[in-house]
Chains A and B, each alone.
Chain A
Amino acid sequence: LAKTTQPISMDSYEGQEVNITCSHNNIATNDYITWYQQFPSQGPRFIIQGYKTKVTNEVASLFIPADRKSSTLSLPRVSLSDTAVYYCLVGDIYQTGANNLFFGTGTRLTVIP
């Protein structure tokens, strides 16, 4: 079962690059890695998803090493509006079923002016 571990909190100054790492030592062959952002009193919002190596979109990059036992979400030049909780999700519901889809406990990112 690919349970995940993330730092509880991080602080960063505006304009800096932020890297949040998620550990998933028991990741299965078919599992994808997905990151979500959640603001207070809202549902999570999809940021990025990957399987291996590096994925980049307009808001973030996702780095996955060859052994896939961890992943790093990179947010370039954060702003105050990036203050939120970031969750890593590992699993492949299609291949291994709904009882193998796990959200991490989340990393609370605070961006400081």
Chain B
Amino acid sequence: NAGVTQTPKFQVLKTGQSMTLQCAQDMNHNSMYWYRQDPGMGLRLIYYSASEGTTDKGEVPNGYNVSRLNKREFSLRLESAAPSQTSVYFCASSEIPGREQYFGPGTRLTVT
């Protein structure tokens, strides 16, 4: 039972490049989340998915797109990376919307 897994763990992009962050959970949770955490800051919600095929914008959605591929997987895409998107990205899942969330280990992204 791996919980929530994220790939890659680290990534360096140049401004304007695109990439997709992958997240998968094996707990059969309906709800999944993408957060970003900037140095010394709390977490900010980027997107939320209540179930397969549904997504909802969080506090900071600009510059990102998401796909809820199936119940297990929720991906985050940066179409044209900017230095302001340098951050640590966490994926999470929960059985009940907004309740006890289980977090992945994070992806550390640097955009130069």
Task: Give B106 Cβ to nearest chain A Cβ, in Å.
Answer: 6
Interface size range on A against B: 20 to 34
What is the predominant secondary structure among interface residues of chain B facing chain A? strand
Interface size on B, residues (CB 8 A): 27
Task: Give A36 Cβ to nearest chain B Cβ, in Å.
Answer: 8
Asked whether A42 is an interface residue with its Cβ less than 8 Å from the other chain, the reply is: yes
Which of chain B's residues has its CB closest to A97's CB?
Answer: B56
Asked whether A77 is an interface residue with its Cβ less than 8 Å from the other chain, the reply is: no
In the complex, A102→B92 CA distance in Å? Answer: 15
CB pair B102 A46 closer than 8 Å: yes
Q: A10-18, A67-75, A86-94: which lies at the B interface?
A: A86-94
Asked whether B58 is an interface residue with its Cβ less than 8 Å from the other chain, the reply is: yes
Q: Which residues of A contact B98 (CB under 8 A)?
A: 32, 91-94, 101
Contact digits for A78-113, partner B, Cβ 8 Å, 1 yes 0 no: 000000000100011110011101111110000000
Binding site for A on B (CB under 8 A): 4, 31, 35, 41-45, 47-48, 56-59, 90, 92, 96-106
Binding site for B on A (CB under 8 A): 32, 34, 36, 41-46, 49, 87, 91-94, 97-99, 101-106
Query: What are 23 A-B contacts defined by CB distance under 8 Å?
Result: A32-B98, A34-B101, A36-B101, A42-B106, A43-B103, A44-B43, A45-B103, A46-B100, A46-B101, A46-B102, A93-B98, A94-B96, A98-B47, A98-B56, A99-B45, A99-B58, A101-B48, A101-B58, A101-B98, A103-B35, A103-B42, A103-B43, A105-B41
